[in-house]
Chain A
Amino acid sequence: MTTANAYIQDFFPPQRYKWKKTKLFSSKKDTSSEVGKESNEIKINFFYSDKTILKTNISIEPIKDHLRAKTISVPFPVKWRLEGISPPTIKCKEITLNVVLKLYDDFFLIPDRVSSSIEEGIFLKYIDYLSGNYLSIEIYNDLDIAAIITNGDKIIKAIDIYNDNFDEAIKIFKK
């Protein structure tokens, strides 16, 4: 991601796979840039008068960026560390990120909560405000995945997830 000093709404999304020359900072005479789009990112190259080039990427998908950040930087309580519980591993975070992005891409679901689990892994909670159903997913450090769908105090179904197939869980969740 970028630290470029520009706001995404400051320029128009360029045409797919076509590079477009744009002047980003009109006040700075010696700085020009190239803006282009590949998949979900805009690439900006800053060309300076001393012939140095600063290459940056800006994502145009803030929701996905937010989900990525939320998953990767999931906090782990100190008290659990003192009890000898392992925090989520890098691999667990990677798998969780895949799950979060998959549920966002396929079903447009955004987790209400992403947190560490005392069962050594990451916990995700989704809420369907229409039905009042809750979908809780746990991705463990051993990379197993389990999910449970509840409504109030009623347990609707607990499912083990195999091969990243959430179809059954989502079907019940959205009912």
Chain B
Amino acid sequence: MTILMKLLRFLKNDRYPDCLKIKGRPKLPTSSFKEADRLYHAFDNEDLDEYENIKLETIRFPDFSCNWSRFSKLRHVRLRKNGKKTDGCYSFTVQVSRYKSFATPVHDPISDRIFPNYSHVEVRELFEGEDILYEPPKNRKKKSKKRKSIRMEYRQNLLNNKFIELSPE
């Protein structure tokens, strides 16, 4: 059984895209993002409304997980935990992710054994006075009532400026 598992892992690893493997590459600072770089995010049919539009309530913010276009291809969004072969992909620019300086993308490579992802990026929330080049820590969430409408505005703007690259199958 163990040998079979190892063989399966070997075969899977063999087909796994090189650009997603960490290969000792360092985590990049926030200043490495170019405004025109794109961030890819997976979605499926459940995320669509009756008019085939992505629903606002399916967009998570803060800590929105994406793949950085510089190190990945569109279809690579499917290579993740709980990912499906039928998943679609939409994208938005780094400039959009920095809307009104509410948030900024942070490079956050995942060194998982099955799904390593060097291109992984988290869009994290910035608080008042923080620069877009500042790197907010993981899982930081301000419990302020006033932030809720700001977050909703941010998510709506992201939705308005996204581009569907790959439709779900």
- Check A123/B56 contact, CB under 8 A, given A79-B82, A142-B143, A153-B160: yes
Could you say which of A115, A145, A159, A160 contacts B55, with CB atoms under 8 Å apart? A115
Is A146 within 8 A of B82, CB to CB?
A: no
**In the complex, what residues of B have CB within 8 A of residue A162's CB?**
145
Flag if A82 contacts B58 (CB, 8 Å). Answer: no
* Chain B residue contacts of A145, Cβ below 8 A: 148
CA distance A79 to B168 in the complex (A): 15
Q: Say which size band chain B's interface belongs to.
A: 20 to 34
Within 8 A of A (CB), among B112-169: 143, 145-146, 148-153, 156-157, 160
A144 x B145 contact (CB < 8 A): yes
Q: Which residue of B lies closest to A122 (CB)?
A: B57
Is A118 an interface residue, CB under 8 A from the partner? yes
Do B58 and A138 touch across chains, with their CB atoms under 8 A apart? no
A147 CB-CB contact with B under 8 Å: yes
**Smallest beta-carbon distance B105→chain A, Å:** 19
Residue from A82, A83, A113, A136 within 8 A of B152 (CB atoms): A136
A to B CB contacts below 8 Å, 30 in the list = A79-B44, A79-B46, A79-B82, A83-B82, A115-B55, A115-B57, A116-B57, A117-B57, A118-B58, A119-B61, A123-B55, A136-B152, A136-B156, A138-B57, A138-B148, A138-B152, A140-B148, A144-B145, A146-B149, A146-B152, A147-B152, A148-B149, A153-B160, A155-B153, A158-B149, A158-B150, A158-B152, A158-B156, A160-B146, A160-B149
Chain A contact residues, CB within 8 Å of chain B: 77, 79, 82-83, 113, 115-119, 123, 125, 136, 138, 140, 142, 144-148, 150, 153, 155, 158-160, 162
